[in-house]
Amino acid sequence: MYNRVLVGVLLAASLLVSGCGNSNKESKELIRKVKVAKVTRTSPELTKEFSGIIKEAKEVNLAFRVAGKIEKILVKEGDYVREGDLIAMIDPRDYEIQAAVAKAQYEQVKAEASRVNELYNRKSIAENDYDKAVAGEKMLSSKLKHANDQLNDTKLYAPFSGYIQNINYDNGEMINTGFTLATIINVEHYSVEVDIPASLFIQKDKFVSFACQQSMIDNKEFPLSMVSYNKKANSNQLYRLYFRLDPRKDKRLAPGMDVKVTINYQNKSENDVIVPVNAIFNKDGKSYVWIYNSDSKTVISKEVKIDGLSGKGFATIESGLNGNEIIVVAGVNILKENQRVDILDNASDTNVGGLL
């Protein structure tokens, strides 16, 4: 009997100890492993990136100033022409006749005006007759010039060097005045256009330098120079900037290509700091980061105000950090207030967020 009681007591004690052990395991604090980095201050220059597109410097529609039958088109689409090269001709016969008639009329009136002038100098003709003769000569002189101009306009020349983009007519077709025969594009330099927000546009006097990259061209960086900008925002509240790109930097560059435009500008506040975008989390419509306490090995949240993206995966913090903190840069969405954490890697001054 005694042995049975002893066995029962020992069994109960064993179960009690086992139950306590499981309870301790369940109540053991969960320690997360996180990656941290030191907050760094912004540099004297900030960088922002935008999508842009390469365009030809100029596109011009070529048209005759006179109407007629196209006698010959001397170029084809894709041809490179130099300034002053002959593009096309209209049948000049009607205009040659017109010019010849105007010349004959002018020479006849000029001879008559010369005779009248001589009589006028000898006081042998009324002043009114002299004035009519002078006016008649001037009128026919203008008519002759107009006829010669129209004859010359039967030939269409390239206004600048460039490539023939489109040709809309064939030899033998009739073409009217002002109708576009061909389109020529100027590629002596390219234009790059980007749209930027008002927050950056108001700092345009702080712009330092510009460049662009084309992803299919070895990620080479090509310098840009800003030419002008629109002073009025578009419907998306964005302002358009216009840059000049030298096509001689790489022959593979061409109009229509997408590019990534980089704008470097002076930092407006020396108190701003930058943090990896992955370090920021949102709660109740506000932005926060986790501050790591090396003494207690815990984290606490800190509200921050974001000034914008500074490029290459970083955000500029306008307020909330002093630049001396160590913050969590990975695993921010699974942490809780005052939670203990283990550090995966040591913080680095030069490798913020372990991104390198």
Domains of the chain (ranges; CATH) run: 31-56+188-356 (2.40.420.20), 92-153 (1.10.287.470)
Task: Check residue 189 and give its pLDDT.
Answer: 86
Tens of pLDDT, residue by residue over 125-174, are 777 777 777 788 888 889 999 999 999 999 999 998 889 989 999 999 99
pLDDT band at 346 (very low <50, low <70, confident <90, very high): low
Task: Check residue 11 and give its pLDDT.
Answer: 43
For 284, what's the count of Cα atoms within 13 Å in the CB-facing half-sphere? 2
Mean pLDDT of the chain: 83
pLDDT band at 186 (very low <50, low <70, confident <90, very high): confident
Tens of pLDDT, residue by residue over 322-335, are 888 888 888 788 88
Q: What average pLDDT score do residues 43-65 get?
A: 87
Q: Can you give 250-304 as a three-state secondary structure string?
A: CCCCCCCCEEEEEEEEECCCCCCEEEEHHHCEEECCEEEEEEEECCCCEEEEEEE
Q: Which of 192, 195, 289, 279 is nearest to 234 (CA)?
A: 195
Is the pLDDT confidence value at 247 over 80? yes
Q: What average pLDDT score do residues 78-98 get?
A: 94
Q: How, if at all, do strands 180-197 and 45-63 pair? A: antiparallel
- Burial label for 320, CB within 10 Å (0-12, 13-18, 19+), is middle
pLDDT band at 180 (very low <50, low <70, confident <90, very high): very high
- DSSP lists the bridge partners of residue 9 as none
Is the pLDDT confidence value at 9 over 50? no
Report the first-to-last Cα separation within the chain, whole angstroms: 74
How far CA 171 is from CA of 61, 89, 224, in Å, comes to: 18, 9, 42
Token duo for residue 85 = 């090269």
| Higher-scoring residue by pLDDT: 181, 30 | 181
Q: State percent of the chain over pLDDT 90.
A: 39
pLDDT band at 270 (very low <50, low <70, confident <90, very high): low
Q: How, if at all, do strands 221-229 and 86-90 pair? A: unpaired
